[in-house]
Chains A and B, each alone.
Chain A
């Protein structure tokens, strides 16, 4: 092979463009090295190294976020750097930081290896950051599998707990199935778009740009249509859209709480990052994509909210309510086909969701006992009285998730709905509003449990006076995280400032 070709290919590799990802990867390796180098007694500093390192990377990223690479493709067309991609990278870094802090709190109670959790979290978030910029199906799939394999481990992390193991197994099997579906779809698209017999076929048919051109030129190809549907189904798994939401409640319940948070926040956002990219790629099959997504969105909103209504285990509740959030976001994705600012709206929604979820999961981490899967609504009784700080944070977080004005979650919902309005999706909006009404019922049920104590029969001597597990003392880093998430949820409702401007909303 002529060497010029290789050189040319290598000239496109701007390593600086993926600097943050590289640093996250190096940080993960550093943690592992520290575990070997440091004496056992000093191991507890390793999680702090992860958090401090992440904060450092975030600071660097924020200072340099407007890199010269925005708008370019690098690595031979594998990556495309866009404004949305930049935002999502920051999003994943923040999510990883939050999850790591929660991990420090939650892992204290478990007799499990401590270091691997943080290393895997870092690797997974690095992969998500790449995923958000993927411009090629190979890149997308490899990054996605890195994320998924990491989650297989994280979900069954507390392997002495049978529920965690069950969750891990279910996630593994369902995840493998979904990857299979996705891969089959990719293969079909690759095959059909690389077929020289068809117009606009490309030798590089994994590349999104080439694929997009091809799909435009061949609007009625059954193989391409099937490929698109299968790819969408595979992605629907990641975002938890009905009927591919099926793994969510069991896995969310069984996984350790920080991992559940990670799944709920980052994994879902990653799915939407893919979806936003793919919607533009599949532009030539717009009616097909809109059809599939519309049916999914309606089913997702209704199912998610109705299913969440019946839950007493808060982890299942938050999981199923997360399904409904995916439904609202799907509405946004459909709107994004016609209304450009919908992309910014989705990003804002995700950010508000990140803050609200971190607040709620943070409180959950402190309220849960040794058995992480057993988190009943009743455990929250009197929370506002015994731990006013946690109570307020919970109320703000849940209020933001429910979309109560003027919290950030309300702004996010309003933006997405407004985009849908402009796109003329009235039926979907009707369903979405119905969903929001139902969601008020269960979110307030939870707040009610924390703030309005129920009457309890008097405790007799010898009985267990506390039916709920002991609550954790809030440590300083966790306190800072919770306070930041809650405060930001309030403030973002009033003032969007640079964030709004960045997302093209200001």
Chain B
């Protein structure tokens, strides 16, 4: 059960931080909670590696297959360590960053709840639970990106991120439900055991596509990549946490999590590799044109996420190993660089590369952190970034098919990443001649702003120095988890003079060239920004949807009652028509050759009344015409031998006319309907509907009732009720209850009329 407490602890801290307002720098104390969780992850690491996993479970919702199953394995544990470790530093940094600004507690509280959700994702062992945490990260990131909500832009971008990741999340849910139904279990560890059941399923393509949609939106893979640079509207601690180390890795994380099942399926490798490749190139190339430090970092994040996705797509043991090394390295240096960018922003008030320069003197600590992180990112030995890059090239060159193309893409991507790393971690500190352009006094922030990035950057160096330890302790256990077999090959810094090493050298040369040509690209920034992008398609989709929604609502829900009636009657008519067509229920028209005069007259009488009522220009005439219709029907009832119905009809009809007369008396005259087309449409629909009902009635008539109820009743009349007048007997004996009901209806109607009459009398005497 100890598995629960790290999540609960952080969630509890979040709640506490929302209510307990610590002053200024003391807010850094909140880092104690994630720190404790981190310590717990570290301490349980030997047990995790030794036993393979730690598990805990409590019941939740059985019908859904949802139990709160948590499982800490080496792969999840690695991510858990990153989440809590980087998270601890981020909280300290956030406390420094927000010092003197309103809302610091709120930011920390939201960061903590996000952290709890993120931790939940990596240790959830149940699909429903995983989805719950997944959506929680989407929602909390919505709140975090929209933190500076006074800005219209921030709110818009926050919603954009939410819509993109939320949509993907639902696709993921659909994919996971299918997965669970096919595998017959909701527990992830169970499903991983039953991979063959899933791969044999006919739904496999659907499952893969849906899960990929979820992962790609979350990890900002092409073509869903646009939300990530836009999400830079968030405060820097948020970007450093969400958009480098954690949330965007969630997509990559579940790709790795499910890769043992899907590895080998043709539906898996193709899409994953292509999406990763395109994202890598798009991110790295567009990054060149960026002039905002955070935007540069966002695009390199895209590039790296693309690289990781591509590696997972290759699926070989070596590729997955490279992925893990690259992932750890990236989490360390990217979070550090974001914090450095935030520190520069904080100290100088700008993130614009055109204005920044010569900060090495005024911000020495930040400079060191930036340089170390940038070197790791650029891939200098002996940083962890170097090892990662070596392994990437190793993977690329050992591919069976298309090796030159992929290696070339990796090479280009790494060169660009190299250049971009220097732009963020080197350029603002060492470029000359810009000091005068900065307004105010650039200054170093407090220790809380430079220590966290420094710690991360140094770790990148340390891990690189001891590759065997890093590999054996961190990478190999996690790798064994996602490949499903135990892995022993050590990590090494030096592989001898091999093709990957040569490629690394080429990367340095190319990277330096790109770096030197930086201003060439920066000048084109505005033109690139305004060129057509996927985001515009998103915007157009959104605007189009809203526009369409407005049109349809105005057309249908305009508020005009006659339009409403038209729609309802029209829909009913269509439904009826459909039934007639489907059941072929058209009545057969036969002619018996004779017409009884009374029904014919009554029918014509009724029709005339109805037409007059429809075209009448004055209410009184329309009302009287309706009365005429009622009379016609009464005659029909009498003619077909239903005197009781006729009486009721006559009385109710008469009463209704009187009632309506009383109401009409007070109403203004009818305004003529202006639009002739509306009148025509109404008339056409009425005729159509009337004909359908007539057809229906005719069909009903063709079901002949064999038994004549009337004759039975006539025979029973004297024998049972001792009455010779059959109609009377029916009314007061056989169907006494019906008659009783009819009397009540009449009585109520009469009371209504009396009340109305009394009311109108009262009112007229008031008016006098």
How far does the alpha carbon of A220 sit from the alpha carbon of B700 in the complex, in Å? 14
Q: Could you tell me if B546 and A310 are in contact, using CB atoms closer than 8 angstroms?
A: yes
Contact segment of A17-25, A101-109, A429-437, A480-488? A429-437
Q: Could you tell me if A306 and B580 are in contact, using CB atoms closer than 8 angstroms?
A: no
Q: Could you tell me if B707 and A196 are in contact, using CB atoms closer than 8 angstroms?
A: yes
Q: Is residue B434 contacting chain A, with contact meaning CB distance below 8 A? A: no
Q: Pick the contact of B170 from A169, A250, A415, A433 — CB < 8 Å?
A: A433
Q: Mark A140-174, 1 if CB is under 8 A from B, else 0.
A: 00000000000000000000000000000110011
Q: Is residue A249 contacting chain B, with contact meaning CB distance below 8 A? A: yes
A: number of interface residues (CB 8 Å):
72
User: Knowing A222-B583, A247-B564, A500-B63 touch, does A307 contact B553 (C-beta < 8 A)?
Assistant: yes
Contact segment of B130-138, B289-297, B527-535? B130-138
Q: Could you tell me if B565 and A177 are in contact, using CB atoms closer than 8 angstroms?
A: yes
Give chain A residues whose Cβ lies under 8 Å from the Cβ of B565. 173-174, 177
**Closest CB-CB distance, A353 to chain B, in whole Å?**
18
How far does the alpha carbon of A494 sit from the alpha carbon of B173 in the complex, in Å? 18
User: Knowing A197-B703, A421-B181 touch, does A222 contact B568 (C-beta < 8 A)?
Assistant: no
Q: Could you tell me if B162 and A177 are in contact, using CB atoms closer than 8 angstroms?
A: no
Q: Is residue B163 contacting chain A, with contact meaning CB distance below 8 A? A: yes
**Closest CB-CB distance, A151 to chain B, in whole Å?**
17
Give chain A residues whose Cβ lies under 8 Å from the Cβ of B548. 306
Q: Could you tell me if A181 and B703 are in contact, using CB atoms closer than 8 angstroms?
A: no
User: Knowing A197-B703, A452-B149, A496-B61 touch, does A405 contact B572 (C-beta < 8 A)?
Assistant: no
- Give the residues from 136 to 159 in chain B that come closer than 8 angstroms, CB to CB, to chain A: 136, 139, 142, 146, 149-150, 152, 155, 159
Q: Is residue B64 contacting chain A, with contact meaning CB distance below 8 A? A: yes
Q: Is residue B656 contacting chain A, with contact meaning CB distance below 8 A? A: no
Q: Is residue B174 contacting chain A, with contact meaning CB distance below 8 A? A: yes
**Closest CB-CB distance, B68 to chain A, in whole Å?**
9
Q: Could you tell me if B545 and A309 are in contact, using CB atoms closer than 8 angstroms?
A: yes
Q: Is residue A192 contacting chain B, with contact meaning CB distance below 8 A? A: yes
Q: Could you tell me if B61 and A417 are in contact, using CB atoms closer than 8 angstroms?
A: no
How far does the alpha carbon of A418 sit from the alpha carbon of B166 in the complex, in Å? 19
Q: Is residue B705 contacting chain A, with contact meaning CB distance below 8 A? A: yes
Q: Pick the contact of A195 from B171, B568, B703 — CB < 8 Å?
A: B703
**Closest CB-CB distance, A173 to chain B, in whole Å?**
6
Q: Is residue B60 contacting chain A, with contact meaning CB distance below 8 A? A: yes
Q: Classify the interface of chain A: helix, strand, loop or mixed.
A: helix
**Closest CB-CB distance, A138 to chain B, in whole Å?**
11
The winner among B64, B136, B181 for most chain A CB atoms within 10 A is B64
How far does the alpha carbon of A411 sit from the alpha carbon of B135 in the complex, in Å? 13
Contact segment of B29-37, B387-395, B554-562? B554-562
Q: Pick the contact of B163 from A244, A246, A292, A441 — CB < 8 Å?
A: A441
Q: Is residue A39 contacting chain B, with contact meaning CB distance below 8 A? A: no
How far does the alpha carbon of A288 sit from the alpha carbon of B166 in the complex, in Å? 35
Q: Could you tell me if B571 and A444 are in contact, using CB atoms closer than 8 angstroms?
A: no
Contact segment of A41-49, A204-212, A224-232, A260-268? A224-232
How far does the alpha carbon of A414 sit from the alpha carbon of B61 in the complex, in Å? 11
Q: Could you tell me if A177 and B568 are in contact, using CB atoms closer than 8 angstroms?
A: yes
- Give the residues from 212 to 263 in chain A that come closer than 8 angstroms, CB to CB, to chain B: 220-223, 225-226, 229-230, 233, 243-244, 246-247, 249-250
Q: Is residue A460 contacting chain B, with contact meaning CB distance below 8 A? A: no
Q: Is residue B353 contacting chain A, with contact meaning CB distance below 8 A? A: no
Q: Is residue B585 contacting chain A, with contact meaning CB distance below 8 A? A: yes
Q: Pick the contact of B128 from A181, A188, A244, A414 — CB < 8 Å?
A: A414
Q: Is residue A453 contacting chain B, with contact meaning CB distance below 8 A? A: yes
Q: Could you tell me if B61 and A192 are in contact, using CB atoms closer than 8 angstroms?
A: no
**Closest CB-CB distance, A322 to chain B, in whole Å?**
14
Give chain A residues whose Cβ lies under 8 Å from the Cβ of B706. 196-197
Q: Could you tell me if A440 and B579 are in contact, using CB atoms closer than 8 angstroms?
A: no
Q: Could you tell me if A307 and B557 are in contact, using CB atoms closer than 8 angstroms?
A: yes
Q: Pick the contact of B135 from A188, A246, A404 — CB < 8 Å?
A: A404
**Closest CB-CB distance, A341 to chain B, in whole Å?**
6
Give chain B residues whose Cβ lies under 8 Å from the Cβ of A444. 142, 159, 162
- Give the residues from 305 to 356 in chain B that come closer than 8 angstroms, CB to CB, to chain A: none
Give chain A residues whose Cβ lies under 8 Å from the Cβ of B505. none
Q: Could you tell me if A244 and B550 are in contact, using CB atoms closer than 8 angstroms?
A: no
Give chain B residues whose Cβ lies under 8 Å from the Cβ of A417. 177
**Closest CB-CB distance, A345 to chain B, in whole Å?**
8
User: Knowing A170-B564, A404-B135, A500-B61 touch, does A233 contact B572 (C-beta < 8 A)?
Assistant: yes
Give chain B residues whose Cβ lies under 8 Å from the Cβ of A173. 561, 565
Nearest chain A residue, comparing its CB with the CB of B65: A418
How far does the alpha carbon of A307 sit from the alpha carbon of B61 in the complex, in Å? 34
How far does the alpha carbon of A496 sit from the alpha carbon of B61 in the complex, in Å? 7
Q: Is residue B763 contacting chain A, with contact meaning CB distance below 8 A? A: no
User: Knowing A195-B705, A411-B64, A440-B163 touch, does A222 contact B556 (C-beta < 8 A)?
Assistant: no
Q: Pick the contact of B150 from A246, A250, A320, A455 — CB < 8 Å?
A: A455
User: Knowing A243-B567, A306-B548, A310-B546 touch, does A181 contact B704 (C-beta < 8 A)?
Assistant: no
Q: Is residue A387 contacting chain B, with contact meaning CB distance below 8 A? A: no
Give chain B residues whose Cβ lies under 8 Å from the Cβ of A452. 146, 149, 155
Q: Could you tell me if B549 and A306 are in contact, using CB atoms closer than 8 angstroms?
A: yes
User: Knowing A247-B564, A411-B61, A448-B155 touch, does A191 contact B700 (C-beta < 8 A)?
Assistant: yes
Q: Pick the contact of B552 from A223, A303, A404, A411 — CB < 8 Å?
A: A303
How far does the alpha carbon of A230 sit from the alpha carbon of B578 in the complex, in Å? 12
Give chain B residues whose Cβ lies under 8 Å from the Cβ of A220. 583
- Give the residues from 374 to 419 in chain A that come closer than 8 angstroms, CB to CB, to chain B: 404-406, 410-411, 414-415, 417-418
Give chain A residues whose Cβ lies under 8 Å from the Cβ of B561. 169-170, 173-174
Nearest chain B residue, comparing its CB with the CB of A438: B545
Nearest chain A residue, comparing its CB with the CB of B178: A421
Give chain B residues whose Cβ lies under 8 Å from the Cβ of A177. 565, 568-569
Q: Could you tell me if B553 and A310 are in contact, using CB atoms closer than 8 angstroms?
A: yes
Give chain B residues whose Cβ lies under 8 Å from the Cβ of A229. 575-576, 578-579
Q: Is residue B699 contacting chain A, with contact meaning CB distance below 8 A? A: yes
Q: Could you tell me if B149 and A453 are in contact, using CB atoms closer than 8 angstroms?
A: yes
Q: Is residue B62 contacting chain A, with contact meaning CB distance below 8 A? A: yes
Q: Could you tell me if A246 and B568 are in contact, using CB atoms closer than 8 angstroms?
A: yes
Q: Pick the contact of B549 from A188, A244, A310, A418 — CB < 8 Å?
A: A310
Q: Is residue B278 contacting chain A, with contact meaning CB distance below 8 A? A: no
A-B contact pairs, 11 of them (CB 8 A): A169-B561, A223-B696, A226-B696, A250-B559, A306-B549, A404-B135, A405-B131, A452-B155, A455-B150, A500-B61, A504-B63
In addition to A303-B552, A496-B61, 10 A-B residue pairs with Cβ atoms within 8 Å of each other are A174-B568, A320-B557, A341-B63, A410-B132, A421-B177, A433-B170, A433-B171, A436-B170, A451-B149, A506-B62
